[in-house]
Structure 1
């Protein structure tokens, strides 16, 4: 795979501690009664290097898999019940009127016929509009697919062969962009009458100096941790090389997303038909009586069940995709030199829907809970509830949720590599972060920002190209119609 100096070659495990202790080791304490040889042998028994488990794996976290299956089966069972026991009077609710003689709602034939005519006209209009929309959507998807393939390939080759140049070119932007924004804000506020009146010159200078101090701290952090920048270069290079050796991931991951959408279709249909379960009742108004639809008591509970099932399934699918990526890359990374691993993608797929499915369900449940709590916190923040206590609580909750998210990222990677249960993988993650927290955070921050910047540049270029191609096609169609 090239010379040993190539940064894209396999290197030592990037998160392994530079110390002599093996990875995920327990701290050893010197004992006066034991010799150095005994300490080393005991250390070797306690410590273990992380490696890819390519053998058979046992089922882990089965209770969470069973709980997830109960949610799914309940959603489908009650959905089928909703279709079978639906009330066909719901679509013609507007045709029902109150009958004083029977003190109930009865169907008015005249309203029903007019409603059916309007429905047919609406269907015709909708079909004509939808046909044009589908045609335009198909062209958009075709152009997107044709242009995305070379762009993705170019991005992968760029990261594979010019990793160090890209990272070193992107790092100055972490300094240049904040400096530009700081100076731009100061000049714009000085020239603006309203801003200059609201903020005196002393305050503006104070904020300017403070922001430059923060930028100086960022520069100092980069200089002190320059060896971790080299680690980031190595990790991005290895990841790019691994993706180039496992190109089937670009087909498997979209297929999993399509499978999730197909899985959502019946649940959405069930939720629509659940609305049909109920009856038409008389509503007493001040001006008289009217007819309204009253749902069965179990319908709101089914909506909650179906929504929770969909949220959990979506989070679990994201974790499953991460598991497949981590398992595939780890299988390649820990294989022998010049040897292509067999079934590098089929094995993680079999594990994610087999022995590790419970771990995926547990991880997806945690992510789902974190997102729901974060949404609740954001909703509470939008209400502008006063008080320093509420502000402190929101900060603490956000910090806790961020920590859980960060921990879960590494945990699912360890589960994909070792095949251990979620708690065992979380323990490995704790050992990793306890010994290499700064390296993990630094690499995570730098690499994610660099990749986000590269994706932004490519997305902007892609948008310009797609816009140009679309305008060219539209112009060609107009010219053809004129001729």
Structure 2
């Protein structure tokens, strides 16, 4: 290795991490962050995406001009004319739109006003809450995690005792659920809580490492706060892109005519029959919208990864400039085909997984169905493994999707790094933190509504909606932080592969990551055989 810093893999504490042999060093290409201009990759998939989008817009415009101006607001105004063998009407049946409003008997003006103000205040407060959360995760990660971890145990205990007391007090529940069974369930749930405590204690060393990883990622995100302005703008752009598509689908339903149809007995009625191309257009529009959504998600991952990589590979005393702009330019420029391909794969995976879940709910019998579901699940797991870190790597190097997938796998395999540990533990801890914070906020909101308003039991509904809004905003924050963790992981692997240390504080944390099991086993076999 060509760095003056000591390589952790050669230290006595890592006996299995041996230096690469000269033959292996010649077999792989040096990987680094691509600062310069990039060439276009995976263009055929961008062209395919354009064809889907243009076709959706073209047929949508056609549906507007080809719609039936006499689309019936109600078929009751039509009757079958036996003389002409057609459906006719004597009244004007021009297209009419009806808007349904909330019934004032169900929702009073006070409820709507309190709900509106609660949601507005929650959204405004969510911004400083996210900022404070990032600040605490950056400087006081250990304190925040240790303060929220007990709630992972306290909340289940509270719920367990609460249901037992309520069921004991209620005569109806006591009659249906005898005391002996209630005690058995209570003890069983306490045993489950005990297992959770044991898991936390047994993996305490991993929690300590995850705390350090979250702290490093929070520091990286604090240097690139502009991402919180760019990413929502990309989401808004996607919604604006959806508006004409939804409008086209509405107008597509107006393409057809009223035709006679036989009903019960000899009676003939009138029904609306859509043109034959309308169902196909719906399928095209829905597929385009799904592909656009997954492509936008991958584009956001690309922008975050490119921005974090620019920060990682810059000097410590240098403030990153135009890193977000360059990442956006690369995502929607040279790498737009890669983003479209990654989005297409994720779209297909989600559609297939949804179909498999639907088939599982139907519980179709037969060994063939069982084998088919197992094969499909194995295929989806392979695609997920292939896609893991691929778009992050593409954002860093500018390579094509397939090349990035292969090089990412080789990069992690060469450096004996696991692709599982960082994702599972850090994501769950962060999810637990935002759940606890949002739950505390919801309790405070509920108490305030109970004491200052006359909503009564409706205050629980308002508090629940406030909790939902806050958990969505905090979930977006955690989603960004998860991507930052993955991006730093890939940057660290590139550093480790080339023997360099661009960010010393990152290496001091990530060097303690566990070794990949498959690589460890293959290395042990190699030592035993003496190869």
Above 0.5 in TM-score? yes
**Aligned Cα RMSD in Å?**
4.3
Match of residue 296 from structure 2 = 317
Q: CA deviation at 1:166?
A: 3.6
Q: Verify: 1:82 aligned to 2:63, yes or no.
A: yes
Preserved CA contact (<8 Å) 2:67 2:252: yes
Q: Verify: 1:157 aligned to 2:135, yes or no.
A: yes
Match of residue 56 from structure 1 = 37
Correspondence list, 1:5-404, <5 A: 18-19=8-9, 39=22, 45-47=26-28, 50-94=31-75, 95-109=77-91, 112=92, 126=101, 139=117, 141-167=119-145, 219-220=201-202, 222=203, 226=205, 229-285=207-263, 286-387=265-366, 390-391=369-370, 393-404=372-383
Q: Deviations over 1:65-121 (max 9, x none)?
A: 111111100000000000010001113452222122222111222xx59x99xx79x
Q: CA deviation at 1:444?
A: 1.3
Preserved CA contact (<8 Å) 2:261 2:269: yes
1:208–1:239 Cα change, 3 Å:
closer
Instruction: Tell me the SS of whatever aligns to 2:261.
Output: strand
TM normalised by structure 1 equals 0.75
Q: CA deviation at 1:20?
A: 5.1
Match of residue 5 from structure 1 = none
Rounded Cα–Cα distance in structure 2 between residues aligned with 1:240 and 1:29: 33
Q: CA deviation at 1:58?
A: 1.0
The one of 449, 455, 458 aligned to 2:437: 458
Rounded Cα–Cα distance in structure 2 between residues aligned with 1:28 and 1:356: 34
Gaps of 5+ in 2: 12-17, 169-173, 456-531
Rounded Cα–Cα distance in structure 1 between residues aligned with 2:101 and 2:114: 15
Q: CA deviation at 1:247?
A: 1.3
Q: Verify: 1:415 aligned to 2:394, yes or no.
A: yes
1:255–1:207 Cα change, 3 Å:
closer
1:439–1:309 Cα change, 3 Å:
same
Instruction: Tell me the SS of whatever aligns to 1:105.
Output: strand
1:142–1:217 Cα change, 3 Å:
closer
TM normalised by structure 2 equals 0.69
1:446–1:255 Cα change, 3 Å:
same
Preserved CA contact (<8 Å) 1:407 1:426: yes
Q: CA deviation at 1:179?
A: 9.9
Rounded Cα–Cα distance in structure 1 between residues aligned with 2:321 and 2:313: 13
Rounded Cα–Cα distance in structure 1 between residues aligned with 2:350 and 2:361: 16
Q: Deviations over 1:339-369 (max 9, x none)?
A: 1111011111111111111111111111111
Rounded Cα–Cα distance in structure 2 between residues aligned with 1:306 and 1:410: 30
The one of 448, 455, 476 aligned to 2:427: 448
Instruction: Tell me the SS of whatever aligns to 1:386.
Output: coil
1:217–1:447 Cα change, 3 Å:
closer
Q: Which moved more, 1:406-415 or 1:69-78?
A: 406-415
Match of residue 463 from structure 2 = none
Gaps of 5+ in 1: 1-11, 22-26, 31-38, 477-483
Preserved CA contact (<8 Å) 2:157 2:193: no
1:171–1:197 Cα change, 3 Å:
closer
Instruction: Tell me the SS of whatever aligns to 2:247.
Output: helix
1:401–1:215 Cα change, 3 Å:
farther
Match of residue 7 from structure 1 = none
Preserved CA contact (<8 Å) 1:93 1:293: no
1:259–1:46 Cα change, 3 Å:
same
Preserved CA contact (<8 Å) 1:249 1:345: yes
Rounded Cα–Cα distance in structure 2 between residues aligned with 1:45 and 1:377: 44
Instruction: Tell me the SS of whatever aligns to 2:258.
Output: strand
1:138–1:419 Cα change, 3 Å:
farther
Q: Deviations over 1:349-401 (max 9, x none)?
A: 11111111111111111111111111111111111223566446435533542
Rounded Cα–Cα distance in structure 2 between residues aligned with 1:145 and 1:322: 24
Q: Deviations over 1:147-188 (max 9, x none)?
A: 1111111111110001233445566777x589969x98xx99
Preserved CA contact (<8 Å) 1:319 1:360: yes
Preserved CA contact (<8 Å) 1:331 1:344: yes
Rounded Cα–Cα distance in structure 2 between residues aligned with 1:437 and 1:470: 54
Rounded Cα–Cα distance in structure 2 between residues aligned with 1:101 and 1:284: 16
1:407–1:230 Cα change, 3 Å:
farther
Rounded Cα–Cα distance in structure 1 between residues aligned with 2:273 and 2:301: 44
